[in-house]
Amino acid sequence: MNKICKSFPLEIGGVQQVLFDVTFNITAGEFVAIMGPSGSGKSTCMNIIGALDTPTSGVYELYGKNITNMTNDELAMVRNEYIGFVFQNFNLLPKRSVLDNVMLPLMYRGMSPNDRVIRSREMLHRVGLENFETYLPPQLSGGMKQRVAIARALAGNPKLILADEPTGALDSTMGNEILKFFKQLNHDMGITIVMITHEFEIARYANRLIHIYDGRINYDGKIPASEDVLNKKTKARK
Ligand SMILES: Nc1ncnc2c1ncn2[C@@H]1O[C@H](COP(=O)(O)OP(=O)(O)OP(=O)(O)O)[C@@H](O)[C@H]1O
Ligand SMILES: [Mg+2]
């Protein structure tokens, strides 16, 4: 990601610039946390990393493919091939079974229905929900819902998992369980993880922290001993 800028058109005319010359590289196998105040541009940045959106200027390459000028169809193919998404609010279909929810994205991969079932059952087993495949999402706890969402993300065999506040809707016990699971996926399967969070305690599960402030990178490096470092920098910039 090199000198990425992102602007959105404003209703009253003109544009609002949200990202300013954002440059970083993420190497395969990293576990990166992105922090920053509300409105600083974290989700905008993640949407670009995840090929959900393209930058206004700058260059972004994902697994050697320059996605900067791709069409929506091309972006969808890249996402489908490389990326699993996990969201704060799980984004499960409430009226479809747990198994259906995990299977659904596999439809776009040209897998036979039988293989989709086998693959999805494997993934539910991985997240410890093999006995819940016929349940509906509203019948599960928050932590279980998030594990279904992770099984769905894993089903496509992603190289990269992008998680926007994955524990934001969970209590700390369930949140920790999800974070340990991410850690395990990163460590044992080598899946690259990029996770947005508001909390330093959560960021500490990662190996690298990128702090965004007002659309610019304020800190990029190892997890610091305390988050005071981040505050000092933002004060210095004001
Ligand atoms: N699609 C869009 N159209 C117009 N403006 C947008 C769009 N997406 C984001 N913005 C603006 O960009 C800025 C940054 O938004 P973004 O969602 O990236 O922040 P964030 O750091 O993820 O905040 P939060 O912690 O609250 O989720 C905000 O001012 C927001 O209003
Ligand atoms: Mg956000």
| Cα distances (Å, whole numbers) of residue 142 to 48, 118, 175, 194 | 27, 25, 9, 21
* Whether 50 contacts 85, CB under 8 Å: yes
Probe residue for ligand 1, chosen from 18, 35, 46, 212 as the CB with the greatest number of ligand atoms within 8 Å: 18
pLDDT in tens, 163-221: 999 999 888 998 998 999 999 999 999 999 999 999 999 999 999 999 999 999 999 99
- What predicted TM-score, i.e. pTM, was given to this entire model? 0.91
Task: Check pLDDT > 90 for residue 233.
Answer: no
Domains of the chain plus CATH, in order, are 2-237 (3.40.50.300)
User: Mean pLDDT throughout 1-30?
Assistant: 89
Determine the Cα–Cα distance for residues 51 and 45; give it in Å rounded to an integer. 10
pLDDT in tens, 209-226: 999 999 999 999 999 998
pLDDT number for residue 6: 87
Residue 188, SS3? Answer: helix
Q: Is the CB–ligand 1 distance for residue 197 below 6 Å? A: no
Q: Is the CB–ligand 1 distance for residue 39 below 6 Å? A: yes
Q: Whose CA is nearest to atom 2 of ligand 1?
A: 8
Q: Whose CA is nearest to atom 3 of ligand 1?
A: 8
pLDDT in tens, 17-31: 999 989 999 999 999
Determine the Cα–Cα distance for residues 89 and 67; give it in Å rounded to an integer. 27
pLDDT number for residue 9: 87
User: Mean pLDDT throughout 21-43?
Assistant: 94
Phi and psi dihedrals of 15, rounded to 5? -135, 155
- Please give the number of the atom of ligand 1 that sits closest to the Cα of 8: 4
pLDDT in tens, 91-150: 999 999 999 999 998 987 888 999 999 999 999 999 999 999 999 999 999 999 999 999
Strands 61-62 and 65-66: antiparallel
Q: How confident is the model at residue 237 (pLDDT cuts 50, 70, 90)?
A: low
pLDDT number for residue 238: 57
Determine the Cα–Cα distance for residues 51 and 94; give it in Å rounded to an integer. 26
Task: Check pLDDT > 80 for residue 235.
Answer: no
- Please give the number of the atom of ligand 1 that sits closest to the Cα of 44: 18
CA-based nearest residue to 230, from 220, 221, 219, 215: 219
Q: Is the CB–ligand 1 distance for residue 54 below 6 Å? A: no
For the beta carbon of residue 101, count every other beta carbon within 10 angstroms: 25
Q: Is the CB–ligand 1 distance for residue 41 below 6 Å? A: yes
Residues 6+ apart with CB under 8 A from 151: 102, 120, 123, 124, 126, 127, 129
